[in-house]
């Protein structure tokens, strides 16, 4: 499960697009689970990737992304957030870590009653992605320029 969540986070963080051009379709179970869990969703768009189904949708005015495995089981849901929406401890420690960097991406991932946050910090010569672990930030990926 952690490997799948890691893949999902990386996919969203670097804004990679995994369009599928084959004849495969979204599983009936994924469609049913999604429509049951998010009946009020609008602007629904499904994307089929090699490893999972992604559905982008709007709910309560917020753009969200849900992920389902190929069997149609729910994996996780993500959405972008503002730094003011972070838990207080993470917000405070992030300010200390920022230095001369700025936030270019920040999102929340929820699955199995767990929530994690990922933030991308950039400067002129560095780009790092941090992930929250137990209320603290740790480097998830360091992409020097």
Nearest alpha carbon to residue 46 among 28, 122, 104, 113 = 28
23/57 same-domain check:
yes
Average the pLDDT over 13-35 and give the result.
Answer: 66
92/58 same-domain check:
no
pLDDT at 17 over 80: no
Q: What is the pLDDT of residues 65-106, one digit of tens each?
A: 999 999 999 999 999 999 999 999 999 999 998 989 999 999
Q: What is the pLDDT of residues 107-134, one digit of tens each?
A: 999 998 899 999 999 999 999 999 998 8
CATH of the domain at 34: 3.10.450.360
* Count of domains observed in the chain: 2
133/114 same-domain check:
yes
| pTM for the predicted model, two decimal places | 0.74
SS (H, E, C) 64-114: EEEEEECCCCEEEEEEECCHHHCCHHHHHHHHHHHCCCEEEEEEEEEECCE
73/6 same-domain check:
yes
Domain of 9, in residue numbers: 2-77
């Amino acid at each position: 499960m952690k490997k799948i969540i890691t893949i999902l986070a990386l996919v969203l963080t670097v804004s990679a697009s995994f369009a599928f051009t084959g004849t495969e379709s979204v599983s009936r179970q994924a469609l049913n689970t999604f429509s049951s869990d998010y009946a009020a969703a609008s602007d629904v768009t499904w994307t089929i990737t090699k490893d999972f189904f992604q559905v982008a949708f709007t709910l309560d005015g917020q753009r969200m992304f849900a992920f389902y495995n190929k069997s149609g089981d729910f994996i996780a849901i993500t959405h972008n957030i503002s730094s003011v929406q972070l838990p207080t401890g993470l917000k405070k420690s992030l300010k200390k870590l920022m230095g001369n960097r700025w936030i270019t991406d920040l999102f929340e991932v929820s699955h199995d009653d767990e929530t994690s946050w990922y933030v991308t910090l950039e400067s002129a010569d560095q780009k790092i992605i941090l992930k929250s672990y137990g209320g603290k930030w740790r480097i998830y990926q360091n992409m020097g320029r």
